[in-house]
Amino acid sequence: MHQKIELPCEYAAKNIFPSIRASIAKILVEEYKMSKYSVAKMLGATPTAVSYYISGKRGEKFVDRIIRDEEIYSIVREAASLLVEAHEREEKSDEKELMGKLQVLMCKACSRLNMLAQKYGCPALMFTR
């Protein structure tokens, strides 16, 4: 019987990124007091999706780990802050720079989560052992 091969980034796209997005949504709604509609626009999601992120119905798999790990939470808060800054500026001129910064932050958070996931058993990390 052949085992399904799942690349670490494929696993992250399905499992880790939704948790990061959920954490960002929670930060924006709870700490920045933004409306779910504004957060949805910023994340490219629907207000319903943001409600699901906030209530834990979507993206909940790694949210507790993100919140408990100071390093990851700091990275996610920085990403939220960048999004707010970009939203307030509403200029497209720095979009490439912003996306570059967000990509670095997402990769940092994801790799940190993958290290935590290795401790708990992550099938995406079977290639790194």
DSSP assignment of the chain equals -PPPP--HHHHIIIIIHHHHHHHHHHHHHHTS---HHHHHHHHT--HHHHHHHHHTSSS-TTHHHHHH-HHHHHHHHHHHHHHHHHHHH--STTHHHHHHHHHHHHHHHHHHHHHHHHHH--GGGTT--
- Residue 45 burial (CB count, 10 A): 18
Domain span at residue 105 reads 8-125
Domain membership of residue 91 (yes or no) is yes
| pLDDT tens, position by position, 7-17 | 667 778 888 89
Give the number of domains in the chain.
1
Q: What is the mean pLDDT of residues 59-78?
A: 93
- % residues pLDDT > 70 (the chain): 80
1 is a domain residue = no
Average pLDDT, integer, range 66-81: 95
Give the residue among 57, 50, 60 at the shortest CA–CA distance from 80: 50
Q: What's residue 127's pLDDT? A: 43
3 inside domain: no
Look at 124 and 58; give whichever has higher pLDDT: 58
Q: What is the mean pLDDT of residues 93-114?
A: 81
Q: Which residue has the higher pLDDT, 96 or 44?
A: 44
C-alpha to C-alpha distance for 45 and 100, rounded to whole angstroms: 20
**Residue 92 has what pLDDT?**
64
Whether residue 98 is contained in a domain is answered as yes
Within 10 Å of residue 23's Cβ, how many Cβ atoms?
26
pTM score above 0.85? no
Let me know if residue 58 belongs to a domain: yes
- Give the pLDDT of residue 93: 62
| Whether the predicted pLDDT of 128 surpasses 50 | no
